[in-house]
């Protein structure tokens, strides 16, 4: 009898336990679900609606992400993307760099602690490492650029390159050999550096740049959530004398490799509608937040290799900014490119400064009337006005053939 009662009691306790367990499971799974679909501050991101309103000036940078119904669910605030700051820099620029890093930290990274990757064509000194690491809230790593990524490829005549530098001595950096290696490296190699292989996104920083607004959300997560491939703050016109044949070469590439061109694309942003020529618009690459998979893609690499073979990094003075921008124009849709209007940023001599009076007052210290996007030097208004379905690739190539 006692044994029977015990078994009954045992069964009752077991059943009760099972019910309690199920209730707990349901309860906690509900909480988990709630947490994973809510993007709390501070890593929440501004929504696409806000990005769209950027044409007429920044209206707001919300704390929480009003993701539109057809957009991906935000990753939770605690989930980070694999991202880093990448800084190409000389040892002698350490003090200018520390100023910029201080601003990166104070405005953003002290809350997020993203790592820094420093790259140099010469070994970093112990002093550089000590001083840079002291400012960084995230891990730091210091990489040497392999000789084959910072030198002359076999098919380049160094004599012709030297003659070019003499001919171009009156053009900005036209005389400089190291500037050309830098532009070629930033165009086609930095994303291959072993120290960057573990990362999916990069944010380029240079010595001397300034950040004038608090960034209370995570731009890397914003890129990831919205499936963005390229982010910029400033766009301007390039000096035509530095890129006499870049557009011809790019058109030839498109003709030889039509399979790489996206449809739609953002080519309309870079083409002068009357002449069919490059209108010189480009994203200023001293600031970039980008998806490394885009630069590592077959199409981007094919484009870089094509340009590299043509020799214009040395026989002219092709900059990485127009190269990245023409790649964006051919390969990306407008909705894969984002203007970080809310990031107050300065690289001599231009700045990007949010117009919204409340944001400007509460988060920034910059003069919104001086923001370069308001002037004719910038191409940002034109970019924001671009039709997302635009595709003028056929027209561009027809003009080329005729
Ligand atoms: N290690 C190394 N870094 C370089 C060299 N030249 C330029 N850089 C870096 O490459 C980036 C671009 O160079 P900048 O001289 O700033 O070029 P820019 O922005 O076109 O021109 P500025 O108006 O001078 O700023 C910066 O991060 C520099 O620190 C070089 O010879 N060696
Ligand atoms: Mg610079």
Integer-rounded Cα radius of gyration of the chain: 25
For residue 304, what are the contacts with CB-CB under 8 A and spacing of at least 6? 187, 188, 323, 327
Which domain, by its residues, includes 29? Answer: 1-36
Predicted confidence band of residue 399 (pLDDT cuts 50, 70, 90): low
CATH for 198: 3.90.550.10
Q: What are the E-state strand segments in 25-181?
A: 83-88, 116-120, 140-144
Residues 4 and 96 in one domain: no
CA distances from residue 373 to 234, 286, 352, 383 in whole angstroms, order as listed: 7, 16, 7, 11
Residue 25 inside a domain? The answer is yes
In this structure, the residues whose C-beta lies within 6 A of any atom of ligand 1 are 88-90, 93, 120-121, 178, 182, 206-207, 286, 348
Residue of the CA atom closest to atom 26 of ligand 1 = 206
* d(C-alpha 363, C-alpha 373), whole Å: 19
For a mutational test of ligand 1's pocket, the pick from 176, 286, 318, 348, i.e. the residue with the most ligand atoms closer than 8 A to its C-beta, is 286
Predicted confidence band of residue 80 (pLDDT cuts 50, 70, 90): confident
Residue whose tokens read 């799974």: 29
The pLDDT, as a whole number, for residue 170 is 97
The predicted-structure confidence for 246-275, as pLDDT tens digits, reads as follows 999 999 999 999 999 999 999 999 999 999
| Measured CA angle at 215 (ends 37, 185), to 5 deg | 105
Residue 44 inside a domain? The answer is no
Residue 182 CA, ligand 1 centroid: distance in Å: 7
Residue 59 has pLDDT above 80, yes or no: no
Residue 249 inside a domain? The answer is yes
Predicted confidence band of residue 186 (pLDDT cuts 50, 70, 90): very high
Atom number of ligand 1 nearest to Cα 347: 25
* d(C-alpha 183, C-alpha 161), whole Å: 14
Helices 320-331 & 246-256 angle (0-180, nearest 10): 30
Atom number of ligand 1 nearest to Cα 286: 19
Of the candidates 163, 187, 185, 184, the one whose C-alpha atom is nearest the C-alpha of residue 174 is 163
- CA dihedral 342→348→350→354, nearest 10 degrees, is 20
Residues 105 and 193 in one domain: yes
- What's the total number of domains in the chain? 2
Of the candidates 331, 353, 332, the one whose C-alpha atom is nearest the C-alpha of residue 342 is 353
Residues 104 and 8 in one domain: no
Predicted confidence band of residue 32 (pLDDT cuts 50, 70, 90): very low
**Tokens at residue 142, please?**
């210091």
Residue 186 CA, ligand 1 centroid: distance in Å: 10
Predicted confidence band of residue 67 (pLDDT cuts 50, 70, 90): very low
Catalytic positions, written as ranges: 288
Higher pLDDT, residue 125 or 3: 125
Residue 27 has pLDDT above 60, yes or no: no
Residues 157 and 299 in one domain: yes
Residue 212, SS3? coil
Residues 142 and 289 in one domain: yes
Kindly state the average pLDDT of the residues 343-357: 97
Residue of the CA atom closest to atom 15 of ligand 1 = 179
The pLDDT, as a whole number, for residue 30 is 31
Count other C-beta atoms under 10 Å from residue 276's C-beta. 17
End-to-end CA distance of the chain: 103
The predicted-structure confidence for 85-116, as pLDDT tens digits, reads as follows 999 999 999 999 999 999 999 999 999 999 99
For a mutational test of ligand 1's pocket, the pick from 85, 86, 87, 88, i.e. the residue with the most ligand atoms closer than 8 A to its C-beta, is 88
The pLDDT, as a whole number, for residue 224 is 96
Average pLDDT taken over every residue of the chain: 85
Residue 358 inside a domain? The answer is no
Residue 383 CA, ligand 2 centroid: distance in Å: 23
Residue of the CA atom closest to atom 27 of ligand 1 = 206
Residue 210 inside a domain? The answer is yes
Residue of the CA atom closest to atom 31 of ligand 1 = 178
**Tokens at residue 138, please?**
């995230």
Residues 14 and 123 in one domain: no
Residue 44, SS3? coil
Residue 2 inside a domain? The answer is yes
Atom number of ligand 1 nearest to Cα 145: 1
The pLDDT, as a whole number, for residue 398 is 85
Residue of the CA atom closest to atom 3 of ligand 1 = 89
For residue 9, what are the contacts with CB-CB under 8 A and spacing of at least 6? none
Lowest mean pLDDT among 10-14, 71-75, 319-323, 344-348: 71-75
* d(C-alpha 234, C-alpha 46), whole Å: 19
Residue 26 has pLDDT above 50, yes or no: no
Residue 67 inside a domain? The answer is no
The pLDDT, as a whole number, for residue 400 is 54
Residue 64 has pLDDT above 80, yes or no: no
The pLDDT, as a whole number, for residue 204 is 99
Residue 401 CA, ligand 1 centroid: distance in Å: 38
The pLDDT, as a whole number, for residue 1 is 35
Residues 205 and 92 in one domain: yes
Residues 20 and 136 in one domain: no
* d(C-alpha 73, C-alpha 336), whole Å: 17
* d(C-alpha 129, C-alpha 7), whole Å: 71
Residue of the CA atom closest to atom 10 of ligand 1 = 88
- CB 276, CB 393: distance < 8 Å: no
Higher pLDDT, residue 79 or 67: 79
**Tokens at residue 257, please?**
């490799």
Atom number of ligand 1 nearest to Cα 319: 20
Residue 341 CA, ligand 1 centroid: distance in Å: 24
Residues 145 and 211 in one domain: yes
Burial 153-188 (b: 16+ CB within 10 A, else e): eeebeeeebeebbeebeeeebbeeeeebbbbbbbbb
CA distances from residue 366 to 36, 71, 134, 158, 380 in whole angstroms, order as listed: 36, 33, 27, 45, 19
pTM for this predicted structure: 0.83
| Measured CA angle at 283 (ends 293, 225), to 5 deg | 45
Residue 357 inside a domain? The answer is no
């Amino acid at each position: 009898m006692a044994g029977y009662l015990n078994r009954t009691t045992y069964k009752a306790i077991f059943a009760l336990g099972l019910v309690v367990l199920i209730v707990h499971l349901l309860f906690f799974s509900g909480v988990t679900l709630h947490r994973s679909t809510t993007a709390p501050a501070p890593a929440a991101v501004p929504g696409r609606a806000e990005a769209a309103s950027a044409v007429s000036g920044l209206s707001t940078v919300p704390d929480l992400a009003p993701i539109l119904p057809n957009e991906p669910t935000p990753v939770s605030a605690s989930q980070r993307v694999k991202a880093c700051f990448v800084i190409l820099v000389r040892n002698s620029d350490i003090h200018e760099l520390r100023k910029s890093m201080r601003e990166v930290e104070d405005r953003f990274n002290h809350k997020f602690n993203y790592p820094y990757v420093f790259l140099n064509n010469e070994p970093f000194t112990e002093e550089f490492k000590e001083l840079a690491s002291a400012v960084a809230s995230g891990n730091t790593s210091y990489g040497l650029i392999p000789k084959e990524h910072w030198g002359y490829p076999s098919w380049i005549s160094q004599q012709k390159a030297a003659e070019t530098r003499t001919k171009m001595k009156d053009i900005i950096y036209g005389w400089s050999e190291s500037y050309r290696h830098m532009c070629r490296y930033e165009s086609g190699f930095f994303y291959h550096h072993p120290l960057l292989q573990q990362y999916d996104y990069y944010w380029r920083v240079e010595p001397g740049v300034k950040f004038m607004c608090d960034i209370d959300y995570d731009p890397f997560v914003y890129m990831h959530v919205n499936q963005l491939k390229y982010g910029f703050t400033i766009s301007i016109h390039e000096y035509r004398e530095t890129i006499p044949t870049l557009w011809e070469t790019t058109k030839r590439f498109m003709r030889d490799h039509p399979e790489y061109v996206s449809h739609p694309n953002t080519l309309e942003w870079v083409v002068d509608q009357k002449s069919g020529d490059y209108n010189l618009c480009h994203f200023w690459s001293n600031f970039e937040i980008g998806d490394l998979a885009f630069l590592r893609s077959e199409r981007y690499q094919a484009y870089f290799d094509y340009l590299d073979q043509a020799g214009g990094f040395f026989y002219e003075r092709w900059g990485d900014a127009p190269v990245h921008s023409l790649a964006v124009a051919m390969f990306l849709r407008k909705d894969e490119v984002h203007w970080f209007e809310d990031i107050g940023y300065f690289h001599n001599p231009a700045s990007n400064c949010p117009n919204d009076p409340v944001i400007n007052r509460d988060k920034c210290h910059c003069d919104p009337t001086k923001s370069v996007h308001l002037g004719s030097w910038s191409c940002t208004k034109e970019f924001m006005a671009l039709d997302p379905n635009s595709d003028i690739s056929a027209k561009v190539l027809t003009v080329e053939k005729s």
